[in-house]
Amino acid sequence: MVNDIEKLDLQGIKQVFHNLSYDELLKHEIAKKEGKMTKMGAFSVDTGIFTGRSPKDKYFVKQDPSKKFISWGKINQPITDELFNKLLKTAKKQLSNKDIYIQDAYCGSSLDSRKSVRFVTEVAWQAHFVKNMFIRPNKNELENFKPDFVVYNACKCANKDYKKDGLNSEVFVIFNIEKNVAVIGGTWYGGEMKKGIFSMMNYWLPLSGKMSMHCSANVGKSGDVALFFGLSGTGKTTLSTDSNRKLIGDDEHGWDDNGIFNFEGGCYAKCIKLSKENEPEIYGAIKKDALLENVVINDGVVDFNDSSKTENTRVSYPIEHILNHEPSLKAGHPKNIIFLTADAFGVLPPVAKLTKDQAMYYFLSGYTAKVAGTERGITEPVATFSACFGEPFMPLHPTVYADLLGKKIDKYDVNVYLVNTGWSGGAYGIGKRMSIKATRTCINAILDGSIKKCEFENFEKFNLSIPKKLTGVETKLLNPINTWNNKEDFLKMRDKLAKMFIENFKRYEDVKEGVEFAKAGPKA
């Protein structure tokens, strides 16, 4: 029995497949020929022409009271209630007069902060994806389940009138905060559901004084919690996976009065070039109940090195597939926060201790540097700034999250560090990538507290506190200027990077908080 099914307003529903077991979902996936079985035991699907999110097709209905809180712009685009209703009607028509899958799930392992979400789709593997990624209710919870929010995933329909409607494409991913409804059309990519609810948590939680974060989290044997923030390529997943510490979660977390809690009940890992040797935990998680996306399969064997479909090959799996995970999906307040960056300019130090004001500055900056494709002959790194290390998913002004972070750091006396996993001894093409051993040593010194015993010096221009010596790390690595052969070249590159930070941060100075936070950054 599905509670409140009549509120879905779908016509002529045939069979309702409600929170099917993994075995039942697999039978449906095979019967409907939605993908292929692999020899690893995982089912594999293709998501069609969209193998990633469609950020230009994401909209929020502009209406009171939410319009006063949303930071409108290229990321949070407005749409009228009238157009939303038109596209919701289109989606409901697509989902009517057929069998549907309803997956009821929780987002948030903290009872004080979790949301009950209902997903409606006509595709079995999308129900499977939701089952993997969100927190699975038990039988008693399902009997009393009342959704706080409903997602209609009508991926098989598209908006043919998008040009007339003034939208970007046939794809639409729309959130109506007041009606507690989201509607998806034109794209089969499962990540739209995951990141869509993450965006909603990033709206709801901060407005009630709770922090929402795009980070991984783990907990030590003594209960000490660490958070790892970092954009793609910085080592967030690798460095938060630690045999001596239990994984709370790898991607989305909240921070309320009880401590840190995972939003999700699963993991969504990249698969490209995955190997058992380099990432044994993720490789080992790809088994029965896992769901692969857009990988190349030959006679049931997955070729993780083949990117002919997309570089963004993925796998979702329940977190129980990671042996060393924290079963409650939550823990106490963090002791340490680590901002990871892969600086390809070779400027930033391998580790630096941040003040509270600097923490808010570097949190807002959300910096890393990516190396341009060498096939074009470009070796100059490209700076990437993403507010709060997750700008595409932040509906409120970024300073709201930074201000909350600062208050939490103060209240719970949290240590904050910047760790550079990028280049040393020169920029990309000249210097070398920081060794994982050196980075691990820095991380371990943070986690065991031994870094606090170090004597620190000032890293000029950026005014960062860096250790003069750190056991297990070659001393000259600790201050980047010592690793460059040409000191003048280093100073020029340092000044160049500082200017990039300053220029990027001007976009937050439209509010008084941003002006204050800017004072903690590098000086012109």
Residue 235, annotated as binding a ligand: yes
**Of the residues 9, 86, 232, 410, which is catalytic?**
232
273 counts as catalytic: no
How far apart CA 210 and CA 203 sit, in angstroms, is 10
How far apart CA 433 and CA 431 sit, in angstroms, is 7
Beta-sheet strand order (sheet of 246-249): 246-249, 216-219, 225-229, 334-341, 415-420, 351-354, 464-467, 456-459
In 3D space, the residue among 402, 362, 407, 354 whose CA is nearest the CA of residue 505 turns out to be 362
In 3D space, the residue among 324, 471, 348, 472 whose CA is nearest the CA of residue 421 turns out to be 348
Do 371 and 344 touch, CB atoms closer than 8 A? yes
Residue 136, annotated as binding a ligand: no
321 counts as catalytic: no
Residue 439, annotated as binding a ligand: yes
**Of the residues 92, 128, 194, 214, which is catalytic?**
214
236 counts as catalytic: yes
Residue 189, annotated as binding a ligand: yes
Q: Tokens standing for 333?
A: 């307040």
Residue 237, annotated as binding a ligand: yes
- For tokens 């879905």, name the residue: 8
Residue 230, annotated as binding a ligand: yes
How far apart CA 386 and CA 62 sit, in angstroms, is 24
343 counts as catalytic: no
Residue 232, annotated as binding a ligand: yes
Residue 279, annotated as binding a ligand: yes
**Of the residues 18, 131, 195, 408, which is catalytic?**
195
**CA distances to 12, 250, 271, 279, 425 from 276, in Å:** 48, 19, 11, 6, 31
**Of the residues 18, 28, 38, 53, which is catalytic?**
53
**Of the residues 250, 251, 256, 403, which is catalytic?**
251
Chain-centroid distance, C-alpha 366: 13
245 counts as catalytic: no
SS3 254: strand
Residue 238, annotated as binding a ligand: yes
**Of the residues 237, 241, 368, 399, which is catalytic?**
237
Residue 195, annotated as binding a ligand: yes
Residue 171 main-chain phi, psi, to 5 deg: -80, 140
**Of the residues 236, 246, 321, 333, which is catalytic?**
236
Residue 234, annotated as binding a ligand: yes
**Of the residues 314, 325, 335, 494, which is catalytic?**
314
Residue 53, annotated as binding a ligand: yes
∠ CA 206-208-209, nearest 5°, is: 65
Residue 494, annotated as binding a ligand: no
314 counts as catalytic: yes
237 counts as catalytic: yes
53 counts as catalytic: yes
How far apart CA 124 and CA 379 sit, in angstroms, is 44
Q: Tokens standing for 369?
A: 């540097």
Residues of the binding site: 53, 189, 195, 214, 230-238, 251, 279, 314, 439
Residues of the binding site for Mn(2+): 195, 214, 251
Residues of the binding site for substrate: 53, 189, 195, 314
**Which residues are the active-site residues?**
53, 195, 214, 232, 236-237, 251, 314
Residues of the binding site for ATP: 195, 214, 230-238, 279, 314, 439
